[in-house]
Structure 1
Amino acid sequence: MALLEIRNLTVSFETSTGLFHAVKGIDLSVQEREVLAVVGESGSGKSVAMLASMGLLPKTAKITADVMTFNGRDLLTMPDTERRKIIGRDISMIFQEPIASLNPCFTVGYQIEEVLRSHLGLNRADCRKRAVELFGAVGIPDPEKRLDSYPHQMSGGQCQRVMIAIAIACKPKLLIADEPTTALDVTIQKQILDLLMSLQEETGMGMIMITHDMGVVAETADRVAVMYKGRKMEEADVVTLFDNPSHSYTKALLSALPELATGDRLPTVSDFVDTASLQTEGAR
């Protein structure tokens, strides 16, 4: 049984020009101890699909699916009170732009302790002790002192580590990492990726890595789902995808990587208009 299973997920938003379909009938699943990479250009629906599964989209979003289960439980029919017990504890997410995701009005210690109080019911002393352990685990120096810092007093890399600490605080079964290395310098990117993979190995949690960086995919993923304009174009194990991509969009995406490019000009990805026919082209 898959840890998370999604079948025929569609997400739409009402706009001034009509209904906009951000996600169009995608299937995704991830097993325990597996890393699934969801890749694609900005605006391809990667984050929206995962936010829909967590129930974190605004009420203006229209979400339909044939199946949406977590650990055998139906997320579609689950009451909001039950979902709130799961989200943040069993399913957790590292959001994009940690500076924007952290509340600037509260210390980072308060924000991680709030998660521990809400989901685990720990008292103040135990929350503080666990928060220090978590900050130490994600490599934040002088963790006890750092708990009293506000987000603006920390670097981008440190804020990303705070977000990871909050995400793993309750030992989730599934961690969704949404562009976890965006806007970080190369050295910090490597540290964050190594940290995430070591935590995943240590805890055995499933992980969904949302990214547009194919280098990150090559280093971290077991399987890869490629998205374009709200649709899933192709899904394969990571070795097959890089060595023998079957979908024309995936081939174009890989050929545009600077490290794989040949000649004087860097290849570009053409605009694939007929996504409906392209979706079936690379099915495995």
Structure 2
Amino acid sequence: MALLEIENLTVTFDTASGPLRAVDGISLSIDKGEILAIVGESGSGKSVSMLAVMGLLPWTATVTADRMAFEGRDILNLSPTERRRIIGKDIAMIFQEPIASLNPCFTVGFQIEEALKQHMGLDGAARRKRAIALFEAVGIPDPEERLSHFPHQMSGGQCQRVMIAMAISCEPKLLIADEPTTALDVTIQKQILDLLMNLQSEQGMGMIMITHNMGVVAETADRVVVQYKGKKMEEADVLSLFETPQHAYTRALLSALPENATGDRLPTVSDFSIEGDPYQGAKTEGARA
């Protein structure tokens, strides 16, 4: 049984100009201990798909799916109380902008201990001990002192580590990492990726890595889902995807890597004749389901 199974997920937003379909029939699954990368340019529906799983989309969004199951249990139709027992504990998410995701009015220690109180039922002393251990695990120096800091008193890299500590605090079975290295310098990016890979290996979590960085995909993923304009273009194991990409959009992504440049300019999507219906290439070129 897959850890997470999604079949025909659709997300539509009500806007002033009419309905906007951000995710259009996405299907995917992930097993325990596996790393699945979801890759595509900004606006392709990667984050929205996973926010739908987390139940964190605004009221203007309509979410439908033929199936959305975690360990075989339907999570789309859970009551809010039942969903809260799973989200944050068994399924956790590292958000794209850590400073914006942390509450500026509370210390980082209070915020991580709140998660431990909610999902683990630990008393005050046990929560603090666990929080210190988590900060140490993610490489935050002087963890006891840092617990009393507010988000604005910490660097971007430190706030990202706080977010990771919060996400793994209840030992989730599935961790969703949404662009976890965005806005960080290259050195910190490498540290964060290494940290996530080590934690994933140690705890045996399934991990969904949302990214537009094909280099990150090559370094981290077992399988890859390629999205474009809300649709799944291709799915393959990471080696097959890089060696024999089947869809024109996937080839465009790979060709846009600087190391693959062959002329004075990098190619664009229009160079691969996939304007208009983004799914046309998959229909005509036999993209992997």
Please state which band the TM-score falls in when normalised by the shorter chain. over 0.9
Deviations 1:77-131 (A, max 9, x none): 2111100110000000000110100011100000000000000111111000000
Q: What's 1:176 paired with?
A: 176
Amino acid at match of 2:229: K
TM-score w.r.t. the length of structure 1 is 0.98
Match of 1:52? 52
Alpha-carbon distance in structure 1 between the residues aligned to 2:62 and 2:106: 33
| Deviation digits for residues 44-99 of structure 1 (CA, Å, limit 9, x no counterpart) | 00000001011111122111100100011101221111001100000000001101
Q: Is contact 1:232–1:279 with CA below 8 Å preserved after alignment?
A: no
Give the corresponding residue for 1:272.
Answer: 275
Equivalent position amino acid for 1:27 in 2: S
1:32-111 superposed matches below 5 A? 32-111=32-111
The letter for the 1-side match of 2:85 is K
Q: Give 1:253 shift.
A: 1.0
| Partner residue in 2 for 1:282 | 287
In 1, Cα distance between the equivalents of 2:277 and 2:242?
A: 24
- Report the counterpart of residue 3 of structure 1 in structure 2: 3
Which 10-residue stretch deviates more, 163-172 or 14-23?
A: 14-23
TM-score normalised to structure 2 length: 0.96
Aligned equivalents of 2:111, 2:262: Cα separation in 1: 48
1:1-284 matches, cutoff 5 A: 1-270=1-270, 272-280=275-283, 281-284=286-289
The letter of the residue matching 2:208 is I
SS of 1:184 mapped into structure 2 = coil
Residues 233 and 279, structure 2, Cα contact 8 Å, conserved in 1: no
Higher mean displacement: 57-66 or 135-144: 57-66
Q: Matched residue of 2:279: which SS?
A: helix
**Equivalent residue of 2:269, what SS?**
coil
Gaps of 5+ in 2: none
Distance 1:283 1:155 in 2: 42
Shift of 1:15: 0.9
Whether the 8 Å CA contact 1:99–1:159 is kept in 2: the answer is yes
What is the alpha-carbon distance in structure 1 between the residues aligned to residue 89 and residue 184 of structure 2? 27
Whole-angstrom distance in 1 between the partners of 2:97 and 2:276: 30
* Paired amino acid for 2:190: K
AA at the equivalent of 2:160: Q
Write the letter of the residue equivalent to 2:276: V
- Shift of the alpha carbon at 1:16? 1.3
Shift of 1:141: 0.5
Report the more deviating stretch, 5-14 or 262-271.
Answer: 262-271
What is the Cα-based RMSD across aligned positions, in Å?
Answer: 0.9
Number of corresponding residues: 284
- Contact persistence 1:21–1:230 (CA under 8 A): yes
Q: Which amino acid aligns with 1:104?
A: P
Distance 2:82 2:251 in 1: 42
Structure 1: gaps (5+ residues): none
Moved more, 266-275 or 101-110: 266-275
Instruction: Using the TM superposition, give the Cα deviation of residue 269 of structure 1 relative to its aligned residue in structure 2, in angstroms.
Output: 2.3
Distance in 2 (alpha carbons) for counterparts of 1:257 and 1:122: 47
Q: Which of 256-265 and 218-227 deviates more?
A: 256-265
